[in-house]
Amino acid sequence: MIGIIAAMQEEVVDIVSMMSGVEKKLIHETEFYVGTLSNKEVVVVRSGVAKINAVVSTMLCLTNFPIDCIINIGSAGGLKEGMKLLDVVVSTEVAQHDLDVGNERGKLSGQPRFVEGDATLIAKAKEAASTLTDIHVHEGLIVSGEQFIMTSAAKEIMEHFPNVACVEMEAAAVGFTCYRMGVPFVVIRSVSDIPHQEGNGMTFEEYLPLAARNAARLTKAVVEMI
């Protein structure tokens, strides 16, 4: 079974609409949608926003369903040079940009600073992306933190993580949980805003549903190849 985790209702609705035989379950106040997608058994989880919700929801998914791999989907702020609204990012690795305890930013003693996505899932995502000619797909580092990023914060993140592709609030939590639990994962995020450009908040509200749809489309294409 494939676990698909998204934070917000806007990020869940499109992927669930692509499923068949959907059954909604509520486990410890977390919404799960169980069904099939491209003839594969999947469960979609609405985690809620931010890292703690993502960790709890990932663990609930892993402990209540026979999960073979996790795909974290949704929207993100684009930071990579040349990135445009509604582009999609496939994670090569994830990190926490707001973890600052005296080591390198994002580094906790005894734990890696970066966690890599599963190579097979990344390869399938890249292959799937080639079938969606209207979506521009990037790959790279996705960083997570507990705030909506505006211009000054975006510049600070890029100083600490020069190779960052995009920023959001849950991917690192999902990735580190999967790493600890030995479960393959990949993150697929579509760009809803460009944090180092003016008018970021308005852009996010306007483009969130469109970005979520692009992420869902690529996710469906990936599931077809798993």
User: Could you tell me the two tokens for 89?
Assistant: 């990012």
Instruction: For residue range 150-186, list pLDDT tens digits in order.
Output: 767 888 999 999 999 999 999 999 999 999 999 999 9
| Span 185-194, average pLDDT | 93
Q: Which position among 10, 11, 29, 205 bears the catalytic label? A: 11
pLDDT band per the 50, 70, 90 thresholds, residue 15: very high
Q: Which position among 118, 139, 170, 193 bears the catalytic label? A: 193
φ, ψ (nearest 5 deg) of residue 111: -130, 155
Three-state DSSP state, 49 = coil
pTM for this entry: 0.94
User: Could you tell me the two tokens for 58?
Assistant: 């990932």
CB 142 within 8 Å of CB 76: yes
pLDDT of residue 197: 63
pLDDT of residue 199: 53
pLDDT of residue 205: 76
- Does residue 200 carry a pLDDT above 60? no
139-175 burial by CB neighbour count: b if 16+ within 10 A, else e?
bbbbbbbeebbbeebbeebbeebeebbbbbbbbbbbb
Instruction: For residue range 17-69, list pLDDT tens digits in order.
Output: 999 999 999 999 999 999 999 999 999 999 999 999 999 999 999 999 999 99
DSSP-derived secondary structure for 148-185:
---HHHHHHHHHH-TTEEEEESSHHHHHHHHHHHT--E
Question: Which domains does the chain possess?
Answer: 2-225 (3.40.50.1580)
| Span 77-94, average pLDDT | 94
Q: Would residue 193 show up in a list of annotated catalytic residues for this protein?
A: yes
Closest CA to 183 of 59, 57, 18, 78: 59
Q: Name residues whose C-beta falls within 8 Å of residue 162's C-beta, 6 or more positions apart in sequence.
A: none
Q: Would residue 11 show up in a list of annotated catalytic residues for this protein?
A: yes
Instruction: For residue range 99-153, list pLDDT tens digits in order.
Output: 888 778 888 888 999 999 999 999 999 999 999 989 999 999 999 998 877 767 8
